[in-house]
Every structure is written in structure tokens, then in C-alpha cells.
Structure 1
């Protein structure tokens, strides 16, 4: 897998530009600027959290409380960033130019999310995880799109399920706001991938959206169980709030 690089962030003229129509190819510049501003707040908040406990039996311990939830999100963003980095590096021969442009955007967004959590967590951040994409054929379009669908749908459900686990009535509200901003981006990603697979039929079905028009939510146990097939590093999430 090629080495990830941090995307460039352009904060110039952000506030003035918010009122203008946003072109798809410039979306990441705004996302990066927002992430940089939010990091300043979260870094200060995380410094007051308890240190992550030592890993059990060699596993990476996500920790407890709000720090544990942030590390949980960080782990998922690491996985998504690694996947789209591999797609951009290896799948150009099976994706159209338009599809590859979307994948490049998704890669940039997921790297931004990953770096945001890493910076916000500071010394409390878990180490880089080792991924396992041996079951993915990056030279097969269906394999790439179906895996992307799995990751994006899982990401949306993960954020939906994690919000209620934040406990700090002060900083926790800031984390919740951040999660709300990120899950909306993840949902846009999921919609884009679903449209690629179904030729824009936009058929999401009851599996994702219930009769009340609400998206599904999944617990960390469910999400990490589903993601474990793609992560070599053993993760201890026993200290996460339930």
C-alpha cells in the first residue's frame, strides 16, 4: 500500500466563501479548514481526559469515556483512509475517470477525518492500525464498490450509534457537534457509492432506513465486529461506554 500523505488545507477566505455555491472539487478545501479550526478546541478538551489504560494482552486499548469514543472513531477513519488510498493507487484501470475523481475526493475527506482525530487526541491517540485488505480485489470494480459500500454504510451507522455514548456535558457537546458534521459527510459518501452501484436508482431499502425515515445505528461492538475482518491489529474495546 502506498504511503498516505496529508492533503493540503486552504483556510484563506473560508468565511467569505461559505455563502457561495460550492463546487464538488473544492469541497475538501472547506472540510480541511473546518477540521483545522475544530482541532484547536478538541485538543484542549482531550488534555483533561484520563490517559488510556495499558493494552491488554498486546491489544490496542481504545480507552474509556469520551476519549475511548474518539479513538473508536479514529480507528474507523484510519480504515477508510487506508482503503481509499489503496483504491486510488490500484483501481484506475477498472474505474471510469469520473468514478476515480469521486474516489479521490473520498480519500481526501477520510484522510482529513483521520488527521483531525489524531491531532485532537494528542498523546491519547491509539497508534496506526495495520489493515488487511487481502479479501479485496482492487482490480475488480464490483469488489471495490461493494467494499466501499460496506465501509460507508458501517461508518454512518457507527457515528449514529456513538453519539449517545458521549458523557461530558461540556466538551461532549463539542464532540457531538463534530460527529454530526462528519456523519453527514459519510452519508454523502454512502449515497455516492450506492448510486455508482445502482446506476443512480437511489434504492437504499429498509436495511438502512426504517419506516420512520431514520437511518440505522450500531453499537461499537457491532461495528468493530464487522470491521475486524479488515484490521490486523487486535483492538481492545472493553472499556468503551455501552
Structure 2
């Protein structure tokens, strides 16, 4: 219950001030995204008592996919900042709090851009994470960040609108910075090792059908992408 309360209690004013800075986008960009979303792929997929579907193939589905992942990451870091693990250094506290603000900003960006086309707010389930222990928190953070980067990389080619693609590129670059920092906390020097880079030195990518089962491990509200080959069980 504590996790759900924290997830619902947003610092929306902070988020709306922050996302323009962290996403590198202005109000005009949101206007472009919102206007474009009004002309196609109207409405996300069906909502049930236990889950949501990102909807028919198209840019809105991919935006909702990103929105779902950003909701999860924001909820996680809100919990991290509220229950900082034992032994956290001043630098760790400051930087993890910054990451929280970035993720809340990303979440609010997608929420604003999608408007009435957005999927509902998701309920997280972090019962497998011990927020009082550094190793547990950082292992989860590493998994979230690596998965987030690979998710954006894997979905980029599905985005048709150039404005959407530009924003996705800006956001994934921030996520990659997060991943590098977290990885270095877990194991110094592992910020860009062979587990995340291919032989050409490129970040790895995962499909929607590969990413959502991982995300759903930490969600009570399960997310499906039936038009992209994945239905949550």
C-alpha cells in the first residue's frame, strides 16, 4: 500500500517545471505532438480491471508504450528517494534524486503529449525490492535502466512521426546516462561493457514483446501490446 500511495502522490508542479529542461523540449513541441495525436490512431487499447493494452499499431501505441515504462521508472525512483537505502552517500542521494526528477519529468511529458489518448495510471508492485538495501535497489535500478534503453532502441524504427522520433532520441540519451551511472555504482567500470553493447559498440535493443514481460514483473496493472505480439498473462 505504501508503494501505491507514493506512486499516486505526484509532485506535478516539479515535474512540469522539470520536463522542459530534461527532455529538451518546449511547449511548442508538446503542441506538435498533441496536434498530431488528434489525427490518427485515436484511443488507446482496451482497459480492464487488471491491465491495459497500448492499442492499435501506430505512433500513439508507441508513445503509450514509452509512457507505461516511464510510469514504472518514475514510481521506482519516487520510492528510492523516499526510502533511501542504508549507507547512501551524499552523492548517491543527490544523483538518485535527480534521476527521480528526470523520470517524473519524462512521465509527465508523455502524459501531456498523449492527452486523452493516454493509457491509465499504472499500479506498481515493488514487493521483490528491499528499498533499505543498497544492493537490492541498485540491482533493480540497473535492470530498469538497461531495459529502458533497449526498449527505446527497439521501438525507434516503429515511430513514423519525425517529432516523436526526435523526442524519443532525446529521452533515450538521458536514460543511457542514468544506466551508465547506475552501472558504475554497481560495478565500477561496467558503464559500457559487453553485456549491453554489441560487437560494433552499439547499445542493444529489445522488442516490445521482450520488454513488457520484464516490466510487468513490477506492475500490478499488466500492460499488453496485442498488436505487437504480446498479451500479458
| TM-score, reference length from structure 2 | 0.87
Task: Please state how far the C-alpha of 1:205 moved relative to its aligned partner.
Answer: 2.4
Whether contact under 8 Å (2:45, 2:55) holds in the other structure is: yes
Counterpart CA distance in 2 for 1:33 and 1:165 is: 22
**Correspondence for 2:192 among 204, 222, 225:** 204
Whether contact under 8 Å (2:149, 2:176) holds in the other structure is: yes
Task: Please state how far the C-alpha of 1:31 moved relative to its aligned partner.
Answer: 1.8
Task: Please state how far the C-alpha of 1:71 moved relative to its aligned partner.
Answer: 0.3
Counterpart CA distance in 2 for 1:86 and 1:161 is: 28
Q: 1:36 to 1:145 in 2, by over 3 A?
A: farther
2:128 corresponds in structure 1 to 135
2:11 corresponds in structure 1 to 5
1:62 corresponds in structure 2 to 54
SS at match of 1:239: helix
Task: Please state how far the C-alpha of 1:59 moved relative to its aligned partner.
Answer: 3.0
Give the RMSD, CA atoms, in angstroms.
2.1
Report the structure number with the largest CA radius of gyration.
1
Unaligned runs of 5+ in 1: 11-26
| Number of residue equivalences | 221
Task: Please state how far the C-alpha of 1:204 moved relative to its aligned partner.
Answer: 3.3
2:110 corresponds in structure 1 to 117
Whether contact under 8 Å (1:63, 1:239) holds in the other structure is: yes
Task: Please state how far the C-alpha of 1:54 moved relative to its aligned partner.
Answer: 2.8
Q: 1:237 to 1:104 in 2, by over 3 A?
A: same
**Correspondence for 2:33 among 42, 57, 66:** 42
**Correspondence for 1:166 among 142, 151, 159:** 159
Task: Please state how far the C-alpha of 1:35 moved relative to its aligned partner.
Answer: 5.3
Task: Please state how far the C-alpha of 1:213 moved relative to its aligned partner.
Answer: 0.8
SS at match of 2:25: helix
Matched, 1:184 2:173: yes
Task: Please state how far the C-alpha of 1:28 moved relative to its aligned partner.
Answer: 6.8
Counterpart CA distance in 2 for 1:34 and 1:103 is: 22
Counterpart CA distance in 2 for 1:35 and 1:151 is: 27
Task: Please state how far the C-alpha of 1:41 moved relative to its aligned partner.
Answer: 1.4
Counterpart CA distance in 2 for 1:241 and 1:38 is: 31
1:147 corresponds in structure 2 to 140
